[in-house]
Amino acid sequence: MKLYNTLNRTVEDIQPINPDTVTVYTCGPTVYDYPHIGNWFTFIRYDTLVRTLKLSGLTPTWVMNITDVGHLVSDADEGEDKLQKGARREGKTAWDVASFYGDYFVHALTRLNFTQPSYLPKATEHIAEQIELVKKLEEKGFTYIIDDGVYYDTSKFPRYSDFARLDLDAMQAGKRVEYNTQKRNIADFALWKFSPKTEQRDMEWDSPWGKGFPGWHVECSAMSMKYLGETMDIHAGGIDHLPVHHTNEIAQSEAVTGKPFATYWMHANHISIEGEKISKSLGNGITLEDIEARGISLMALRLHVLESHYRSQSKFSWESLEAAQRRLRNWQALSDLRFQPTEKMATKSPDALSFMAAGKNFVDTLLNDLDTPKSLAFLDALFNQNPDKIHVESLDEYVNFLQTVDEALGLKLLDSHDIEHEQKQLIAEREDARAAKDWAKSDEIRVELVKQGLGLRDTDFGTIWYRL
């Protein structure tokens, strides 16, 4: 399997540290509000990565964190903790907000047919590990203390700017008025924030440096090393994590271990609506509930995400999502052909496609840097070449092919059930009526089946039903 590695800016073959297994860490949600569609685009791309790794023959150990403390409204360690902000907005405690939106997120993974992560660790359940990491950094001379917390001194890590190719001199020269003047360098970041002396936070813990809470960046290093070891195979996140969050993870992790933090880095690009980045503040933070309220399935959202490459800047519109829904319904109708095989052809057509070969070709497109647009185009071309019905001799291959597609894309194409026996009898009666040229009865039965949610299409191999 090949993947674009942000570390080297090239597409590389995945060669895991341990053969046949691959360790993956993906940056999960900050659970202070409902995730919006931009978040889900990134999370679905994580799931596609894990699914494709499985298809390549590897066994992934997948960790996705849940940030329930320490993520400030500014990545520059300024402003309010997002959990405290959510608590003030809803008139609840930060613990209540984290519990509600954390549970919502976990349930939504099931609604969207995600692969189950191996671990979903919460930052608040790993405070001891985060404190221990900060202590090790302190022992190695990478920290200093100012009025509001314990900070990482980026000047002590010469490779700090390499990963994101940052121009630290320009950043220092262009620092804003509100820049924390106690910080030694503009890129220095908080490892442990002190609780304000004038108030008691909902979430705060004792530490060797005083009561407070961990910085956002430290949680990912502490939890990933706990579950995946000092060097993981793949670390994934949004492209917005590149210049700050992931850069800081590398600095603090490698300062402690002296080893590479991750071998491969995968970054999903932004999604925009009408040219604007998606955010709650702009009022364009569409949720899963907004999508379902329009009668669009969440599997159509999955398909829409896969219509663009993870490294491209995607554009969302309701029209494109509705088009994805139509595309999905067409594929679902083709999946239902497995319930309607035909024996009318004496032998398989000599130009009939081999679904076994098709499955391999389909997987090969995904193994090349998760090229989902190409894989979907391949499926469209394949389905367009199919006969109106699947011959009984090809049925097993066809079902196995659909199983491969489901394993790769998670669209639940095989989740449908056959129609009722009574509905099959009506279709047979209609075919008899058509043979007898009793068009009135044929139309009557068609109308009845439409009321039951079934459409009909007449072909050379008999009548095909599909769900409306």
Q: Please give the full DSSP string across 30-85, using - where no structure is assigned.
A: BTTS---HHHHHHHHHHHHHHHHHHHTT-EEEEEE-BB-S--BSSTTS-S-BHHHH
Per DSSP bridges, beta strands 276-277 and 271-273 are antiparallel
Report the run of H or E that residue 2 belongs to, with start and end: strand 2-5
Q: Which structure tokens are listed for 336?
A: 């239902």
> What letter would DSSP give residue 176?
-
The answer to whether 194 touches 146, Cβ cutoff 8 Å, is no
Distance CA 69, CA 304 (A): 32
Name the pairing type of β-strands 232-238 and 212-214: unpaired
Instruction: Please report, for residues 335, 341, 343, 389, 445, the alpha-carbon distance to residue 395 in angstroms, rounded to integers and kept in the order given.
Output: 11, 7, 11, 10, 28
* Whole-structure pTM value: 0.93
Domain chopping of the chain, boundaries: 2-268, 289-409, 421-467
What would you measure as the largest C-alpha separation in the chain, in angstroms? 91
- What is the Cα–Cα distance from 105 to 131, expressed in whole angstroms? 27
Q: How far apart are CA 330 and CA 328, in angstroms?
A: 5
In 3D space, the residue among 336, 348, 363 whose CA is nearest the CA of residue 453 turns out to be: 336
- Identify residue 123 by its one-letter amino acid code: A
Task: Give CA–CA dist 371/360, Å, rounded.
Answer: 14
Q: Which residues contact 402 (CB under 8 A, 6 or more apart)?
A: 335, 338, 413, 414
**What kind of architecture, by CATH, is found in domain 2-268?**
3-Layer(aba) Sandwich (3.40)
Tokens representing 79 are 């402003």
Q: Is the dihedral of CA 275, 112, 49, 304 positive or negative?
A: negative
State the CB neighbour count (10 A cutoff) for residue 197: 8
Q: What is the pLDDT along the chain (468 residues), one digit of tens a residue?
A: 999 999 999 999 999 999 989 999 999 999 999 999 999 999 999 999 999 999 999 999 999 999 999 888 876 677 788 998 899 999 999 999 999 999 999 999 999 999 999 999 999 999 999 999 999 999 999 999 999 999 999 999 999 999 998 887 776 665 544 568 899 999 999 999 999 888 888 999 999 999 999 999 999 999 999 999 999 999 999 999 999 999 999 999 999 999 999 999 999 998 888 767 776 566 678 999 999 999 999 999 999 999 999 999 988 999 999 999 999 999 999 999 999 988 875 444 433 457 888 889 999 999 999 999 999 999 998 888 766 778 888 888 899 999 999 999 999 999 999 999 999 999 999 999 999 999 999 999 999 999 999 999 988 888 899 998
Instruction: Say how far apart CA 254 and CA 261 lie, in whole Å.
Output: 6
DSSP 4: E
Q: Is the dihedral angle over the CA atoms 78, 79, 85, 89 positive or is it negative?
A: negative
Sign of CA dihedral 269, 373, 40, 122: negative
Q: Provide the pLDDT for residue 43.
A: 98
CA dist 255 and 415 (Å) reads 48
- Residue 349: its pLDDT value, please? 46
Question: Does residue 421 sit in helix, strand or coil?
Answer: helix
Sign of the four-CA dihedral 285, 287, 292, 298: positive
